[in-house]
Structure 1
Amino acid sequence: MAFPKCGSTWMQEILWNMIHNPNFDNPQAKTPILLRAPDISQDMLHDGEEIDNMEVSAFEALFRKVVPEKDPKDGMFLEILNKMEGRRVFKSHLPLCLMTPGLLDKAKVVYVARNPKDVLVSFYHYGRVLKLYKFSGTLDEYINDCMKDDVVYMPFWPYVKQAWQQRHHPNMLFVFYEDMKADIMKELRRVNTFIGTNLTKQQLENIAKYTSFSAMKSRGDPLDTPENKTELHQDEPVLIRKGQVGDWKNFFSPELDAKVNKWIEENTKDTDITFNYGN
């Protein structure tokens, strides 16, 4: 689980390979990540008026490969998940309050958090490039809309706080994106213990290399398939852009930074969560 643009695709690939492909001999590794580890929060987007239904056909092409007997209107990625056997890996951008009750009593949850300044910048580029949203505007306009909770998936803060409050639950592993960037092996060891995969040091090192930013980017954007590349986005990557900590400093003006700092201060005064902004 993660708010969009917090490293969820990275963690998706890590978890699936740790569980199903630790020795890189699983032929399913070449299939799109949304088929191996479906994002069940994608389904709600297809019911919104903001989404062009013509573009939804790109996801339907993926769906019909796996569950041709089901109606995509019943939830494409939920039906893909329902058909999966064995230990399942799936993603959600929904907050805990919108997931099934008792989720933490039934499943292991790896939650990835990222500093909100980098989230806002990455989220802006995501909305600008992905054709589904048809967004046009400036970074300042987009961030102002985000701070007013007028962007899909917002509000940001209740989402993070709900997970933070559950960070000590035995079935919750709370991970910071910045910690993954600083010492991926340390975080992989935490994940390895949490999900009980018992991988060796060499296997974890191989996973780290296989799921590195450069390696994942060289394999192409995870949304790219012959059916959907031209339909879903421009030539720019959607899910793998820069993967940097502190990239917000290349985009924020002093005025925008002051606004965002006030937004952060107002929303963190009742919690002890802190972020690494790459200062």
Structure 2
Amino acid sequence: MSSSEELYLEYQGLLFPRETHSAESLKFAQEFTLKDDDVLAVTYPKSGTIWMQEILPLVLSGGDLTRVQTVVNWDRAPWLEETRLAQVVDKLPSPRALVTHFPYSFMPPSFRTSKAKVVYVMRNPKDILVSSYYFHQMAAFLEDPGTFEEFMEKFLDGRIVFGKWTDHVKSWRNAELGDRILFITYEEMVQDLPASIRRISDFLHQNLSEEVIQKIAKHCSFQSMKANTMSNFSLCPKEYMDNDKSHFLRKGRIAGDWKNHFNSDHLARFKSVITKELEGENFSLPWSLD
């Protein structure tokens, strides 16, 4: 079993997987020049990143399916912080779709001076915990999660990649970006994907027709993405992700899977820590912690 030191790179106080990140790639990201028409999907891990990698390029291209059917998602809307960005960024059509797990403080200075927009996807942290627990079991580049109880403590303490969920959410909710940022929840996307795509389209001034909205929603359904080799990570070598242990797209998109994993002690512990972490913040969560 690989140690945390072998698997993770510590950079400015946060842990990053060495498999996809390097000190050079993180420096490249923080010196990256963002354009005014760039659009970033910002998420804490396991909050809907892959879904947004599918949605954003389609919204920005007016529903053209060509790239989502011919270019793997990690090249179609690459991560700002990963080593892959430097290899593909010059091939990205404009307007560019990018994704990042960075907290706000890690964003490059060019982001603050540009007009680049952000779609920030929030998800119930209890469901993030469950999804992340299974992902750690199948991703060889992440530390073995141990028991569910052990992993919960790591999650709450921020001893996992990208740190505490609460720190990430606070950093972006408190960023003063005005009309440059749209907050949307994973749960509202699950409940009504066409309506969510319409919100994103309007935010980005794309003015998509209802026909195109429905076309994008159909293509971005769980069933469609799971069948698309450009989107389901089946092309990722098994030594990186073992789909025999747990599929990357593990379940149909549902909200509330945490209820199948949390007992009353888990719930009390989770609520106590998250409530304390968010005490005094000027925003409220869209979900109950009970």
- TM class, shorter-chain normalised? 0.7 to 0.9
- Quote the residue 1:231 is aligned against: 239
Distance 1:196 1:106, change over 3 A: same
Q: Distance in 1 between matches of 2:160 and 2:217?
A: 33
Tell me, yes or no, if the aligned pair for 2:78 and 2:84 is still in contact at 8 Å: no
Match of 1:86 among 89, 94, 100: 94
Q: What is the RMSD computed on CA atoms of the aligned residues?
A: 2.1
- Quote the residue 1:56 is aligned against: none
- Quote the residue 1:273 is aligned against: 284
Q: How far off is 1:274 after superposition? A: 1.3
Moved over 6 A (4+): none
Tell me, yes or no, if the aligned pair for 1:17 and 1:207 is still in contact at 8 Å: yes
Equivalent pairs: percent with the same residue?
Answer: 28
TM-score normalised by L of structure 2: 0.78
Tell me, yes or no, if the aligned pair for 1:40 and 1:78 is still in contact at 8 Å: no
Match of 1:156 among 151, 156, 165: 165
Q: Distance in 2 between matches of 1:238 and 1:170?
A: 33
- Quote the residue 2:266 is aligned against: 256
Count of aligned pairs:
244
Q: Distance in 2 between matches of 1:240 and 1:168?
A: 34
SS of equivalent residue, structure 1 residue 147:
helix
- Which of 1 and 2 has higher RCO (CA within 8 Å, sep 6+)? 1
Match of 1:35 among 63, 72, 75: 75
SS of equivalent residue, structure 1 residue 40:
coil
| Residues 1:97 and 2:105 are matched in the alignment | yes
- Quote the residue 1:59 is aligned against: none
Q: Distance in 2 between matches of 1:255 and 1:38?
A: 39
The structure with more strand, counted as a fraction of residues: 2
Tell me, yes or no, if the aligned pair for 1:113 and 1:176 is still in contact at 8 Å: yes
How do 1:70-149 residues align onto structure 2 when only pairs under 5 Å count? 75-104=83-112, 105-149=114-158
Tell me, yes or no, if the aligned pair for 2:62 and 2:208 is still in contact at 8 Å: no
Which runs of 5 or more structure 1 residues have no equivalent in the other structure? 44-74
Deviations 1:234-264 (A, max 9, x none): 2222255442211001001111111001012
The structure with more helix, counted as a fraction of residues: 1
Which runs of 5 or more structure 2 residues have no equivalent in the other structure? 1-41
